[in-house]
A and B are shown apart, each in its own frame.
Chain A
Amino acid sequence: MRQAFSIPRFQLPAFVSAIGTRLPQWPHALALTAALNAAARMKLLPQDSLATLEGRSFLVEVLDTGGTACFTYRAGFFRPLFGAPATPDLAFRANLSAFLQLLTRQEDPDTLFFNRELSIEGDTELGLVVKNMLDAIEWPKLPGLPRPHH
């Protein structure tokens, strides 16, 4: 077996996103920024890359759940944005399965992008910084969790 677990490619039914878009969106942003701040505190995110995020606005949209999160990075912290900017500096859009595959390093962002499963819009260079920053994170090895190995 290739991996201890593997996330299949799936798409949630359209009604899920119809419900999702009607829920308040800021809890997503809150959860996401909290996670990013934790990563920054643990020095998992390289300083030079963080510096280039200063004052820029980001949008992450999970298409099939209808969830969106807007946030910015200012003075050393990721902060939720409560009103979505009309044109964020950078927007990532994908279905939940693609985001999960990305985060677990099961798929390569370029692969998802080539296959049109991940859309990146806005400042391309900023997109590259973010992508490479996520790639460079050395996730602490948590004891007891199965290592994705073969």
Chain B
Amino acid sequence: MQRQKLPELICPAGSLPALKAAVDNGADAVYLGYKNDTNARNFAGLNFDEKTLGEGVRYAQSRGRHVLMAINTFPQPGREADWQRAVDGAAALGVDAVILADVGLLDYASRRHPDLRLHLSVQGSATSYEAVNFAQREFGVRRAVLPRVLTLAQVEHVIRNTTVEIEVFGFGSLCVMNEGRCWLSSYATGESPNTVGACSPAKYVKWEKSPGQMTTRLNGVLIDRFGDDEPAGYPTLCKGRFEVNGETYYALEEPTSLNVLEILPEIARIGVAAIKVEGRQRSPAYVTQVTRTLRAALDALARESERYHVKPAWQAELAKVSEGNQATLGAYNRPWR
């Protein structure tokens, strides 16, 4: 059998310590963003300024790892220059690639910085090889991150029909609703990932504690109620429990985490170029735990190929940090499309 290439491991960095944790624990690349609304994790106190960016890029690149800069929100009318400046800044800094979603910005980047490597963000919502090849033809995109809505067979179909590298999500909280086009947060708050760079911004979130239970509200909209020993989830509409036809349940999605350890050999076999870990909003402890575990799994796959099997210790480590404490293969193994 021909030796297959191992997918790269791409890990999140919301801060300098998280970046170092990713690099030290075996990430091939880290992705990060500026402290502003040009990226989809624009949370108070998170992300990088010029100083920490410079140090982060040096730390990773001097150890032979790559730095990918996410500029993956959509430029807001009249403020296009802010997004263009972000691209210019990333190019000047010497990052290894920028992750973009907006076609206008892709166009700008490809003209202004022809040598800058472009990745199509998951927010760009390319689910077919036609869309991926369009981005390649028009802007020279080298890699596309596929939304978490495709089955493994569909991912393979895309890979077979394009020369663009394909990256998929390997672990993290699920945000599957119409990747890149979800407006649930705007429905409740007027702000959503694509406009302000955050889903369900914290200023709208209220956790109300009362004896025996905790209530979550998003701009007054009741999202969920937890008993004292029930696990909590992120305060997003998609993960709320709602009353539908007289029944109260997770009407849109259960709070779970995606976890592809079980199908890692398949992912490598079909030629996925990279797997991405979600969670720039999480702490260095999470980055350490997840990076270390996925690195161990990928290395085991490289060593053992057919004899690869998932170690219970890996699953335990990942289950611990999961939202909702349960893992799923998400759409990858869904019978329907």
Binding site for B on A (CB under 8 A): 46, 48-49, 52, 105-111, 113-116, 119-121, 124-125, 127-133, 135-139, 149-150
Contacts and interface: CB of A to CB of B under 8 A. Distances in A.
Interface centre among A48, A109, A125, A133 (most CB of B within 10 A): A125
B209 A131 contact: no
Nearest to A119: B209
Interface in B202-217: 202-203, 205-207, 209, 214
Contacts of A124: 202-203, 205-207
A135 B15 contact: yes
Contact of A136 (B17, B321, B322, B323): B17
17 contacts: A49-B44, A105-B17, A105-B285, A108-B282, A110-B281, A110-B286, A114-B231, A114-B323, A115-B231, A116-B232, A119-B209, A121-B209, A124-B202, A124-B203, A125-B202, A131-B45, A133-B45
Closest 10 CB pairs of A and B: A132-B45, A108-B286, A125-B202, A136-B15, A124-B205, A129-B45, A108-B285, A108-B283, A124-B202, A129-B44
B284 interface: yes
Contact of A135 (B18, B201, B203): B18
B202 A114 contact: no
Contacts of A121: 207, 209
A128 B232 contact: no
A135 B284 contact: yes
B271 interface: no
Contact of B283 (A49, A110, A120, A139): A110
Contacts of A46: 45, 49
Interface centre among B201, B233, B282 (most CB of A within 10 A): B282
Interface stretch (B96-104, B154-162, B177-185, B222-230): B222-230
Nearest to B284: A105
Nearest to A135: B283
A108 B49 CA distance: 23
A120 B35 CA distance: 24
Interface of B: 14-18, 24, 35, 43-46, 49, 52, 201-203, 205-207, 209, 214, 226, 228-233, 281-286, 288-289, 292, 320-325
A114 B207 contact: no
A114 B325 contact: yes
Given A121-B207, A132-B14, A150 B202 contact: no
B43 A108 contact: no
Contacts of B285: 105-108, 111
A131 B43 CA distance: 11
Given A110-B286, A115-B231, A130-B45, 7 more contacts: A49-B44, A105-B17, A108-B283, A114-B232, A114-B323, A121-B209, A132-B15
A116 B286 contact: no
A110 B283 CA distance: 8
A109 B45 CA distance: 15
Contacts of B233: 114
A119 B209 CA distance: 9
A126 to B, nearest CB: 8
A49 B231 CA distance: 29
Interface centre among A114, A138, A149 (most CB of B within 10 A): A114
A150 B203 CA distance: 39
B42 to A, nearest CB: 11
B232 A111 contact: no
A49 B207 contact: no
Contacts of A49: 44-45
A107 B46 CA distance: 18
Contacts of A52: 44-45
A132 B230 contact: no
A127 B202 contact: yes
A113 B202 contact: no
A108 B321 contact: yes
A113 B321 CA distance: 10
B45 A116 contact: no
Contacts of B203: 124-125
A115 to B, nearest CB: 6
